[in-house]
């Protein structure tokens, strides 16, 4: 298993070992003993899973303290573009975003720390996305950013008319108007 630092402060990428043979494959998708030292104290409390069709765009979501969530995100089936935005004003990478392809082939995962907005768009015909979180969902602490905020300049890899977005996500504020993450 190989963990490496991502391009944004506090973000980690994980490439699991995959053993393949004529029967299929085997991989260990998570082992707390293998977490890098900065993540060693993380305790995940819940696993979430969503299946979506091509063009579904979920996000960009976050929860405010004290209900903020770190996430370990993977794509079980299909292919997605996973996007995170650093919302921590004290961070050297504040306001920057990272886009990464996650799929069912190499099974890379991304660790998203507290203080990031997170979202993804489905690029394959369907996709199943799973993620572990280290805090329980709290409705009154939820926040988000509008996925098409021009100041973020996120390339979602699909044309705008291909997106399937919830009414709730279409009403999210732009970066300069979001609830502060302090």
Supply the pTM of this predicted model.
0.94
Reported confidence tier of residue 139, pLDDT bands at 50, 70, 90: very high
97 is catalytic: no
User: From the candidates 97, 114, 120, 131, which is the catalytic residue?
Assistant: 131
Contact 145, 60 (CB under 8 A): yes
pLDDT in tens, 35-91: 999 999 999 999 999 999 999 999 999 999 999 999 999 999 999 999 999 999 999
Helix (H) or strand (E) holding 170: helix 167-170
Smallest Cα–Cα separation from 12: which of 33, 40, 45? 40
25 is catalytic: no
What is the pLDDT at residue 112? 98
- Using CB atoms within 10 A of its CB, is residue 171 exposed (0-12), middle (13-18) or buried (19+)? exposed
User: From the candidates 61, 114, 118, 178, which is the catalytic residue?
Assistant: 61
Superfamily of domain 44-177: Jelly Rolls (2.60.120.10)
């Amino acid at each position: 298993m190989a963990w490496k630092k991502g391009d944004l402060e506090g973000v980690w990428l994980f490439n699991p070992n995959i053993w393949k043979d004529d029967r299929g494959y085997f991989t260990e998708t998570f082992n707390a003993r293998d977490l890098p030292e900065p993540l060693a104290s993380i305790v995940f409390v819940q696993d979430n899973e969503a299946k979506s069709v091509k063009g579904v765009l979920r996000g960009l979501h976050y929860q405010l303290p004290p209900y903020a969530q770190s996430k370990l995100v993977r794509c079980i089936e299909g292919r997605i573009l996973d996007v995170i935005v650093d919302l921590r004003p004290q961070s050297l990478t504040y306001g920057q975003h990272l886009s990464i392809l996650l799929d069912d082939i190499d099974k890379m995962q991304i660790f998203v720390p507290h203080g990031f907005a997170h979202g993804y768009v489905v690029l394959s015909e369907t996709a199943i996305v799973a993620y572990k979180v280290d805090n329980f969902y709290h409705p009154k602490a939820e926040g988000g950013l509008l996925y098409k905020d021009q100041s973020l300049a996120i390339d979602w890899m699909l044309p705008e008319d291909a997106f399937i977005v919830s009414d709730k996500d279409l009403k999210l504020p732009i970066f300069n108007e979001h609830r502060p993450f302090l």
